[in-house]
Amino acid sequence: MPTGKKPSYYALLSVFDKTGIVEFAQQISQLGFQIISTGGTAKTLTEAGIKIIPIQEITGNPESFDGRMKTISFQVESGILFDRTNKKHVKEASALNIKPIDLVVCNLYPFEQTVAKPKVNLNEAVENIDVGGPAMVRAAAKNFKNVLVITNPVDYEQTVSKLKTKNIPLTFRQQLAAKAFAHLSFYDSQIANYLNTDKFPNEITLAGRKTINLRYGENPHQSATVYFEPRTNSPLIKLQRLTGRELSYVNFTDIVAGLESVRIFKTPAAVVIKHNSPSGIALGNSTAQALKRAVAADPVSAFGGIIVLNKSLDLKTAKTFANFKEENGILVDIVAAPDINPDAKQFIQTIRKSTGIYTFGQIPSQRSNNLHTRFFDGGFVMQDWDDSSDKKFKQWKVVSKKHPTKKQLQQMQIAWQFIGRIKSNTILVVDKNLPMTRGIGSGQTSRIRAAQIALEQADKLAQGAILASDSFFPFDDTVKLAVKYGISAIVQQGGSINDKLSIEAADQAGIVMLVTGERKFWH
């Protein structure tokens, strides 16, 4: 690195994002670097009064083909790649008149931003695939023991500070190289994903950008961070804490579960989440009404729960929190909604200061990604999202002698939408009149046990209610148990070899049974 004012080292600056590049160039010039630069970067630096060496003076060739050829050359790549600790390399570089480029600053054409445009076409996208930049970055990162590589303006200040000490630790060099390779991998993954026409290609790289540092992981001794995919339209990327507790891994994943439960509804919907699963889901004519119903579905489990709404939280809705505390002693840990009225926020704070209040903006009608990904030790599994569609209701079949009333059919459809985001195996009891759960038996290894939990929770409110099962009945025991509690109608997948027994049990009791022809598991 430079040891005096006399220029004797070279830095190559070629950036699309010019944030801080002028100040950085001024600082390294004072440290003795001669600056080689290209295109728009060269223009920016020259206009700022910084002396630069145009890239063509190094390559011996002009920028050509509308800028497609600028930096790719034997002279540039050699200046970056040769090993300064190898005497043979040093001698060879001198004989070939290769200038040692000891610092490479480069960020790439904005491919991610380009393809995010609604009307972008293939030609425009392809023109924003950087070639020369990645070649320089890769070369510099490979030779990190001799060359510093910067791909993010946030590293300018620390790099200058290290350069001033004239002693740059190998660990720092390696850290910058790792960032460079990650930057390239992220960049290339966006290109591959855009160009790929296969839903499940043989090789895939998932890109993520760190967005939220969580308070801790599933347990306090674990650390955790949230990453988001590029170009995602997920409301969660806009998640903002207005007041109250910061999020842990459990809090965040509970909000995720809550959002999945309410996002499909156009009418006001509310859900109370406990341990990543709903304890109560409800719809209403207003958000306040939906919230009251969701809490009333299981007041015991609502204590310390997380509430997620699909509509803005107004003062009327906020006042229900006071009722929860006064009537049942219920305290809410976190509430998340698209938006919140300032008066509502202040009111909730008077009920419990530590309650975390979060907003996430409007929920888009369609997802930006078509696949649902879940990680395991060593890999991940991808599948289509199972987003509910009203069109599928037309495929349902009445298999019992008794047909549903209009109200029963409406409640069964609501139950089927609710059940799609509750951990399987699930049996769900929905009120006979109101769009709300009365009992949830979820995450059980036995369907009859799930039914027992849901029906016992619903108790007397199971009389005349709707029972939904996210899969078929392997035996008729669940139907017989439902009859004992007074269930009036059952909706289930169908398709078991024992369907006939279950249908016969329904007919003997004089209740309605519909089959959907599809399973509704949520693992």
Please report, for the chain, the start and end positions of each structural domain, with discontinuous segments joined by +: 9-195, 209-359, 394-515
Question: What pLDDT sits at residue 3?
Answer: 46
Question: What pLDDT sits at residue 83?
Answer: 94
Under 8 Å CB-to-CB from 19, ≥6 apart: which residues? 153
Question: What pLDDT sits at residue 411?
Answer: 98
Question: What pLDDT sits at residue 1?
Answer: 53
Q: Provide DSSP, 452-491.
A: HHHHHHHGGGGTT-EEEESS--SSSHHHHHHHHTT--EEE
Task: Give the active site residue among 18, 89, 142, 325.
Answer: 142
Report the phi/psi class of residue 66: left, alpha or beta, with left for phi > 0 and alpha for psi in -120 to 50.
left
Q: What is the CATH number of domain 9-195?
A: 3.40.50.1380
Question: What pLDDT sits at residue 330?
Answer: 79
**Helices 132-142, 74-81: inter-axial angle, 10-degree rounding:** 20
Task: Give the active site residue among 89, 275, 319, 402.
Answer: 275
CA pair distance 138, 150, nearest whole angstrom: 11
Question: What pLDDT sits at residue 308?
Answer: 98
Q: Kindly report the backbone phi and psi dihedral angles of residue 101, in degrees, each rounded to the nearest multiple of 5, phi listed first.
A: -95, 105
pTM: 0.88
Contacts within 8 Å (CB) and 24+ apart, 96-102? 99/10, 99/36, 99/58, 99/75, 100/9, 100/10, 101/10, 101/11, 101/12, 101/36, 101/76, 101/140, 101/147, 102/1, 102/9, 102/10, 102/11, 102/33, 102/146, 102/147, 102/148
Question: What pLDDT sits at residue 457?
Answer: 97
According to CATH, the topology of domain 209-359 is Cytidine Deaminase; domain 2 (3.40.140)
**Peptide bond just before 276 cis, omega within 30 deg:** no
Q: Give the chain's residues under pLDDT 70.
A: 1-8, 326-327
Domain 9-195 matches domain 209-359 at the CATH topology level: no
The CATH superfamily of 394-515 is AICAR transformylase, duplication domain (3.40.140.20)
Q: What is the 3-state secondary structure (H, E, C) of 7-47?
A: CCEEEEEEECCCCCHHHHHHHHHHCCEEEEECHHHHHHHHH
Count of alpha carbons within 13 Å of 296, Cβ hemisphere only? Answer: 17
Report the phi/psi class of residue 486: left, alpha or beta, with left for phi > 0 and alpha for psi in -120 to 50.
left
Active site residue 275: yes
Active site residue 183: no
Contacts within 8 Å (CB) and 24+ apart, 15-22? 15/41, 15/105, 15/106, 15/107, 16/40, 16/107, 16/108, 16/109, 16/110, 17/107, 17/110, 17/153, 18/44, 19/153, 20/153, 20/156, 21/45, 21/105, 21/153, 22/48, 22/50
Cα 101-96-12 angle, rounded to 5 deg: 15
Residue 308 · residue 290 · CB < 8 Å:
no
